[in-house]
Copies of this chain bind each other. A is one copy, B any other.
Amino acid sequence: MQAEIITIGDEILIGQVVDTNSAFIGKLLNTIGISVYQITSVQDEKQHILKALAEAEENADIIIVTGGLGPTKDDITKHTIAEYFNDNLVRNTEVTKNIERLWRDYVKKPIQQVNLDQALIPSKAKVLMNMVGSAPGMWIEKDEKVFISMPGVPFEMMALMQEEVIPKLKIKYKRPYIVHKTLITYGIGESMLAAKIESWENNLPHHIKLAYLPNLGKVRLRLSGKGLDETVLNNQIKQQIEYLLPLIKDEFVGFEEDGDIEVLIAKALTKNNKTLSIAESCTGGKLAETFTQHAGASSFFKGGTVTYATQSKIDILGVSKSLIDKHSVVSAQVAEAMAAQCRVLYKSDYAISTTGNAGPNKGDADAEIGTVYIALATKNNVFSQKLELGNDRKRVINKAINKALELLKKEIFKN
């Protein structure tokens, strides 16, 4: 059972927008045993869309199209799909009512004709009702294949995928079972890791594949299996992981399916009734945001300070000016003082701090670009680590965050 995703929009091809829809759709299809054969991004141009539809129909059983359903003149997907199926557009009463409801309850402004015309859909299409936007999803069957069209606005597409598309596909098709299990490792590179696990990898059964996904100080190892019997497949993957884990015990921090490392930290803190605060300099708020992006952060996260200017480290955190003068603002001593003071200020069990120079200029400090200190304060201890993270600003920030998460995870899970 294979799907192809077609995303429509010049904004993707000129690089103005990153296509995040395809990843969301691919992940969800995998959970019900449907693999994605190919993702194709095409222009807002009729002939090109028609060609992509025809090619996808050759390759796949399920063709999922996003984008080009807006009310404005540059949106041509609906007309093109009608042409592909030798069909014409008809006004759908249910969709009209839905659009009128959205305008009455949310938009609260006069409804435009272009919005009402979003209720025009190909006569062969079943409507997938979009409860959060005016462009309906569409479902068209042809022989044993199905064509699905959804708006490109991510949250509208997401709601349609979850509420309409996935349930309908589960009913229509018998599917095999697909399992992905991803081990997150920190600390060594891809080829070192490969050398460590080489003999294990060579003995993997043919229907279980391994992939390496390296990124800024962490490497994810993904095991993917496909089979008809769910229990057998799960047991096979489980057994392979039991063989693997002793080989990477120093590097392994958890399974991606259990959540990213900050989610594992969040769960452990919440469970143990412990709290966290964060004092950031070079990471500029992004470490706090890494935690607060997830629901439930208020149960363990007390808060943070972004003391970007040196003076604010003194005024807000109470780091002593003489300490800064003596050791410089980018130093183990200042990092440790930031963490310790932050912990007291926010009355938290743990506090983590970052101070460094992310570049491209030297800023307040004499430190080399890429030098970052990370400190961790607990009730009885404060310690720090010095890092040299290169000279690319975004990479320095992201690597510092990965390292801070690694240190905190190790501290919290050490007992």
Contact = CB atoms under 8 A, between A and B. Distances in A.
A306 B292 contact: yes
Nearest to A281: B303
Contacts of A44: 211
Contacts of A207: none
A322 to B, nearest CB: 20
B291 A284 contact: yes
Contact of A308 (B24, B55, B107, B303): B303
A18 to B, nearest CB: 5
B289 A289 contact: yes
Given A191-B112, A303-B316, A298 B292 contact: no
Interface in A3-50: 9-20, 22-28, 30, 35-44, 48
A30 to B, nearest CB: 5
A365 to B, nearest CB: 10
A16 B180 contact: yes
Report how many copies the assembly holds: 2
The 6 closest A-B pairs by CB, nearest first: A284-B292, A285-B288, A15-B27, A15-B26, A285-B285, A285-B289
A304 interface: yes
Given A295-B359, A395-B155, A30 B15 contact: yes
A255 interface: no
Contacts of A303: 305-309, 312, 316
A224 B305 contact: no
A71 interface: yes
A180 B14 contact: yes
Interface in A222-238: 222, 224
B30 A24 contact: no
A114 interface: yes
Contact of A23 (B10, B15, B114, B292): B15
Given A303-B306, A316-B345, A74 B212 contact: yes
Interface of A: 9-20, 22-28, 30, 35-44, 48, 52, 55, 70-74, 107, 109, 112, 114-115, 153, 155, 180, 182, 189-192, 194-195, 201, 209-215, 220, 222, 224, 277-278, 280, 283-289, 291-293, 295-298, 301-309, 311-312, 315-316, 345-347, 359-361, 363-364, 392-395, 397
Given A38-B52, A292-B306, 18 more contacts: A9-B211, A12-B39, A15-B23, A15-B25, A112-B195, A114-B194, A114-B195, A115-B191, A284-B292, A285-B286, A285-B306, A288-B306, A293-B397, A301-B308, A302-B312, A303-B309, A305-B316, A306-B306
Given A39-B13, A298-B363, A306 B305 contact: yes
A72 B284 contact: no
A192 B112 contact: yes
A316 B345 CA distance: 7
B284 A16 contact: no
A10 B2 CA distance: 14
A309 B316 contact: no
A22 to B, nearest CB: 7
